[in-house]
């Protein structure tokens, strides 16, 4: 039952029942229309209340029906709203907790709206690259006024009902029981005629042309590559300049236009990708979770401190273990300084600051952390060091504690073998800075228990991370792919590029930063130590030696004031380095390579398609569950542009046969061995399919 019809005296109450947020799916829409008909045909009924069961009035469209015929099947939301708006009896929306998107559009179609305090009100469609498509852009400006409505529609940001209490949106704020309050309100308006309709309100805004032009200019400057915010302004402009029905037509046309854009498809892909990432095919959704009430972190360095902050931010107490008092003091001081900076910026209250600082304590004794529910090691990335730590953890941690490693490349199965409880071991690869970056790569070992995996995924949500599960392989999903990207970046330098040219080519596509600026930020010595290991473990893989030569010059990046670029004290801006460019040109000459002019298109294709090809291998090997998981890793951890949807989605938009054609062309150049087409990529292209 997706909506319940009840009669209370002379009032009909239609309650939406489609958990978790009463999404307006086809069954719910049909049930509202049926309820309306029943109420209108019953002479005893004087008024109708529409409300939502559970924890929402309505969150809007039913995401389970997105991209399916049911989403647009009749009765559409437009039809439902028309039935309500044309009612001969007053219809009251009784709003609580969540009233967003189509839920708010439904409420705007009612004659009256009453609400409880604390309800979140929003039209968030712009965040999916679309605009409200059921009259939201036409009705909200009529009832809230042009300026406030436009801000809500363009930003998509929720506003609490009490902030809107004095506007015409709500006829009454209800204290106490919502239904009782709504029934009392219904008694007051049962005989009021004519019935007020939002569509009949005239928008009075002096000099609206100037305001709309100012809005267009502001939104154009802030919306970057996304077309939806500007289209929202156009739709709202129609509410001011056109008759209601003509404005609705403008809104509909703009909505249908936006739905087809790559940018909207990319945003919707990311929205669903984030939700899909937490679902693991062989781990049932009702898997019992282990309780996580306390955390221990081994290592108070940059990573350890950042990891600890995530848990303190979520209200979970954390102990940080270090071997030396000096290192512990330094780590705790850095955490305090980070919080002080946030406090100074006004992004943290003094109360929250005190709370978080109090939740983080230090220790130098393994015995003191034994009762923690999960322990995360963040020590030096070397197997011998990890072995010592995990043998010690195996001795001191209580039964049932989760033993997690923040390794970024090492074999989690080998780490698990250092304990007598491999089922409790999991990889939790945080990204630096760990208190800021959204991605958490969760590495599932061969023996990792299902409840350990389910608990870690749930914990990632609690600390506001996007948890993506990876199987065990060298570098997991993200770093295994970035290695191919970095290899191509190095080859491009040998063949004719400068670091600045390579970086600018991908930054033009919307990347946060190119590979060389990224290397300088992360520390070029990290890649150097990985390559040294590769030269022994995998001598068949070729690399450009330019990065080694750079490190031999002591240019590790921002931390040493010099890397691929020059840096000035207190200035993070990357300045092109003549010294580095001369070194690169000399290296090409030493290799006997005649440098050539390389286009930005070639740079972008070689970097991105190397990611795509490695991603296809990762999918085929089952390291990643689905292509969208790979995209989530790159959107949340590697600065891949959101409007491009991630590497696998980007390949789909380019067309997989086109990706292969470009790869075959690059395979004829130097280092052609790097362009062996992954069998899955070839298969999907041949079958006319895509990754997503």
- Give tens-digit pLDDT for 216-270: 999 999 999 999 999 999 999 999 999 999 999 999 999 999 999 999 999 999 9
DSSP assignment of 222-243, as one string? HSTT-SHHHHHHHHHHHHHHS-
H helix runs in 397-511, sequence order: 412-416, 450-462, 478-495, 499-507
Average pLDDT on 674-683 reads 97
Q: What are phi and psi for residue 93, nearest 5 degrees?
A: -90, 125
Catalytic residue among 34, 74, 125, 382: 125
Q: Report the chain's C-alpha Rg in angstroms.
A: 29
In angstroms, the CA 620 to CA 605 distance is: 22
Looking at residue 368, what DSSP letter applies? G
Q: What is residue 68's predicted lDDT score, i.e. its pLDDT?
A: 80
Q: What is residue 324's predicted lDDT score, i.e. its pLDDT?
A: 95
- Residues carrying CATH 3.90.226.10, the chain: 3-259
| HEC-encoded secondary structure of 27-59 | HHHHHHHHHHHHHHCCCCCCEEEEEECCCCCEC
Q: What share of the chain is helix, strand, coil (3-state, %, to 5)?
A: 50, 10, 35
Q: What is residue 537's predicted lDDT score, i.e. its pLDDT?
A: 81
Average pLDDT on 148-154 reads 97
Burial annotation 273-290 (CB, 10 A radius, 16+ → b, else e): bbeebbebeebeeebeeb
Q: What is residue 109's predicted lDDT score, i.e. its pLDDT?
A: 98
- Residues carrying CATH 3.40.50.720, the chain: 295-470
Contacts of residue 190, defined as CB under 8 A and 6 or more positions apart, other chains included, come to 10, 11, 46, 47, 90
- Cα distances from 277 to residues 423, 429, 467, in angstroms, run 22, 15, 7
In angstroms, the CA 500 to CA 575 distance is: 9
Report pLDDT digits (tens) over 96-141.
999 999 999 999 999 999 999 999 999 999 999 999 999 999 999 9
| Residue 74: burial class (beta carbons within 10 Å; 0-12, 13-18, 19+) | exposed
Cβ 443 vs Cβ 470: under 8 Å = yes
End-to-end CA distance of the chain: 33
Per-residue pLDDT band at 670 (split at 50, 70, 90): confident
Q: What are phi and psi for residue 94, nearest 5 degrees?
A: -105, 105
Q: How many residues does the chain have?
A: 692
In angstroms, the CA 323 to CA 343 distance is: 30
Q: What is residue 572's predicted lDDT score, i.e. its pLDDT?
A: 86
Q: What is residue 530's predicted lDDT score, i.e. its pLDDT?
A: 82
In angstroms, the CA 302 to CA 318 distance is: 16
Distance of alpha carbon 306 from the chain centroid: 19
Per-residue pLDDT band at 84 (split at 50, 70, 90): very high
Q: What is residue 606's predicted lDDT score, i.e. its pLDDT?
A: 98
- Going by C-alpha positions, the residue among 360, 241, 274 that lies closest to residue 311 is 360
Angle (CA) 221 227 232, round 5°:
90
In angstroms, the CA 470 to CA 426 distance is: 11
Task: Report whether pLDDT(67) > 80.
Answer: no
Give the sheet arrangement for strand 172-173, strand by strand.
Answer: 3-8, 11-16, 47-52, 91-95, 112-115, 172-173
In angstroms, the CA 48 to CA 42 distance is: 11
CATH class of the domain defined by 3-259: alpha beta
Q: What is residue 72's predicted lDDT score, i.e. its pLDDT?
A: 82
Parallel, antiparallel or unpaired: strands 3-8 and 11-16:
antiparallel
**Which residues, listed in sequence order, are joined to residue 6 by a DSSP beta bridge?**
13
Task: Report whether pLDDT(195) > 90.
Answer: yes
In angstroms, the CA 627 to CA 630 distance is: 5
Catalytic residue among 85, 105, 274, 494: 105
CATH of 295-470, one of 3.40.630.30, 3.30.420.40, 3.40.50.720, 3.30.470.20: 3.40.50.720
Q: 478-686 — its CATH code?
A: 1.10.1040.50
Answer yes or no: 105 catalytic.
Answer: yes
Looking at residue 376, what DSSP letter applies? E
H helix runs in 345-431, sequence order: 350-359, 383-396, 412-416
Task: Report whether pLDDT(358) > 80.
Answer: yes
Report pLDDT digits (tens) over 400-432.
999 999 998 899 999 999 999 999 999 999 998
Task: Report whether pLDDT(470) > 90.
Answer: yes
H helix runs in 523-666, sequence order: 524-537, 546-552, 578-591, 600-620, 627-637, 647-654, 656-666
Cβ 146 vs Cβ 255: under 8 Å = no
Report pLDDT digits (tens) over 325-357.
999 999 999 999 999 999 999 999 999 999 999
- Cα distances from 34 to residues 5, 27, 95, 198, in angstroms, run 9, 10, 21, 23
The answer, yes or no, to whether the previous bond of 194 is cis (omega within 30 of 0) is: yes
- Residues carrying CATH 1.10.1040.50, the chain: 478-686
In angstroms, the CA 528 to CA 423 distance is: 33
**Which residues, listed in sequence order, are joined to residue 99 by a DSSP beta bridge?**
58, 121
Report pLDDT digits (tens) over 581-629.
999 999 999 999 999 999 999 999 999 999 999 999 999 999 999 999 9
- Going by C-alpha positions, the residue among 356, 370, 368, 367 that lies closest to residue 311 is 356
Average pLDDT on 674-680 reads 97
- Going by C-alpha positions, the residue among 151, 152, 161, 157 that lies closest to residue 120 is 161
Cβ 558 vs Cβ 572: under 8 Å = yes
In angstroms, the CA 487 to CA 483 distance is: 6
Cβ 51 vs Cβ 179: under 8 Å = yes
The helix/strand/coil state of 258 is helix
Q: Half-sphere exposure of residue 394, counting CA atoms within 13 Å on the CB side?
A: 16
Task: Report whether pLDDT(521) > 80.
Answer: yes
Q: Is 145 left (phi over 0), alpha (psi -120 to 50) or beta?
A: left
Average pLDDT on 543-563 reads 94
H helix runs in 294-366, sequence order: 302-313, 325-344, 350-359
Task: Report whether pLDDT(1) > 80.
Answer: no
Q: Which helix (H) or strand (E) holds 188?
A: helix 178-189
Q: What is the mean pLDDT of the chain?
A: 96
Q: What is residue 526's predicted lDDT score, i.e. its pLDDT?
A: 82
Q: What is residue 534's predicted lDDT score, i.e. its pLDDT?
A: 84
């Amino acid at each position: 039952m997706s909506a319940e019809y009840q009669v209370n005296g002379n009032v009909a109450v239609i309650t939406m029942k489609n958990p978790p947020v009463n999404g307006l799916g086809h069954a719910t829409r049909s049930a509202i229309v049926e309820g309306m008909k029943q109420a209108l045909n019953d002479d005893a009924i004087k008024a109708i209340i529409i409300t939502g069961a559970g924890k929402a009035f309505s969150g809007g469209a039913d995401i389970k029906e997105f991209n399916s015929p049911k989403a647009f099947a009749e009765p559409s939301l437009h039809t439902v709203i028309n039935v309500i708006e044309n009612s001969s009896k007053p219809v009251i929306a009784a709003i609580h907790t969540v009233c967003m998107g189509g839920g708010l559009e439904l409420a705007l179609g009612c004659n009256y709206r009453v609400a409880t305090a604390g309800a979140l009100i929003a039209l968030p469609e712009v965040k999916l690259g679309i605009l409200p498509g059921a009259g939201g852009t036409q009705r909200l400006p009529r009832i809230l006024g042009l300026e406030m409505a436009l801000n809500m529609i363009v930003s998509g940001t929720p506003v609490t009902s009490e902030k809107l209490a004095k506007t015409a949106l709500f006829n009454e704020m209800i204290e106490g029981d919502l239904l009782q309050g709504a029934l009392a309100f219904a008694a007051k308006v049962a005989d009021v005629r004519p019935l007020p309709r939002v569509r009949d309100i005239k928008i009075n805004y002096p000099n609206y042309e100037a305001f709309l032009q100012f809005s267009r200019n502001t939104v154009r400057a802030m919306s970057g590559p996304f077309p939806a915010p500007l289209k929202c302004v156009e739709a709202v402009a129609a509410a001011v300049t056109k008759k209601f029905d003509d404005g609705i037509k403008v809104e509909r046309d703009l909505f249908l236009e936006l739905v087809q854009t790559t940018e909207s498809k990319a945003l919707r892909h990311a929205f669903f990708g984030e939700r899909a990432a937490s679902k693991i095919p062989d781990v049932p959704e009702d898997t019992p979770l282990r309780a996580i009430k306390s955390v221990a972190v081994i290592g108070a360095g940059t990573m350890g401190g950042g990891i600890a902050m995530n848990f303190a931010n979520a209200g979970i107490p954390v102990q940080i273990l270090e071997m030396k008092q000096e290192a512990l003091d330094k780590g705790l001081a850095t955490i305090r300084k980070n919080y002080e900076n946030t406090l100074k910026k006004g992004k943290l209250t003094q109360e929250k600051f005190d709370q978080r600082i109090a939740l983080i304590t230090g220790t130098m004794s393994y015995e003191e952390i034994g009762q923690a529910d999960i322990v995360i090691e963040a020590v030096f990335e070397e197997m011998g060091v990890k072995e010592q730590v995990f043998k010690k953890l195996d001795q001191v941690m209580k039964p049932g504690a989760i033993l997690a490693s923040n390794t970024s490349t090492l074999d989690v199965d080998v780490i698990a073998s250092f304990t007598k409880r491999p089922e409790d071991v999991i990889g939790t690869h945080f990204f630096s800075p760990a208190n800021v970056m959204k991605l958490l790569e969760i590495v599932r070992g061969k023996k990792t228990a299902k409840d350990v995996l389910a608990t870690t995924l749930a914990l990632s949500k609690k600390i506001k991370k996007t948890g993506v599960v990876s199987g065990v392989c060298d570098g997991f999903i993200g770093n295994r792919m970035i290695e191919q990207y970095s290899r191509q970046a190095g080859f491009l330098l040998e063949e004719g590029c400068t670091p600045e040219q390579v970086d600018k080519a991908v930054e033009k596509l919307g990347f946060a930063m190119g590979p060389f600026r990224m290397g300088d930020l992360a520390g070029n010595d990290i890649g150097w130590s990985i390559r040294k290991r590769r030269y022994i473990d995998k001598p068949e893989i070729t690399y450009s030696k330019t990065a080694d030569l750079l490190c031999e010059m002591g240019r590790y990046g921002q931390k040493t004031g010099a890397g691929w670029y020059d840096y000035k004290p207190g200035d993070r801006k990357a300045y092109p380095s003549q010294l580095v460019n001369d070194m690169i040109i000399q290296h090409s000459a030493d290799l006997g390579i005649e440098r050539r002019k390389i286009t930005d298109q070639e740079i972008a294709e070689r970097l991105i398609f190397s990611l795509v090809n490695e991603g296809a291998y990762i999918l085929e090997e089952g390291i990643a569950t689905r292509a969208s998981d790979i995209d989530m890793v790159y959107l949340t951890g590697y600065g891949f542009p959101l409007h491009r949807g991630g590497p696998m989605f980007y390949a789909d938009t380019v067309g997989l046969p086109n990706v292969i054609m470009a790869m075959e062309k690059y395979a004829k150049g130097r280092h052609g061995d790097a362009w062996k087409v992954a069998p899955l990529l070839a298969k999907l292209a041949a079958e006319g399919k895509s990754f997503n």
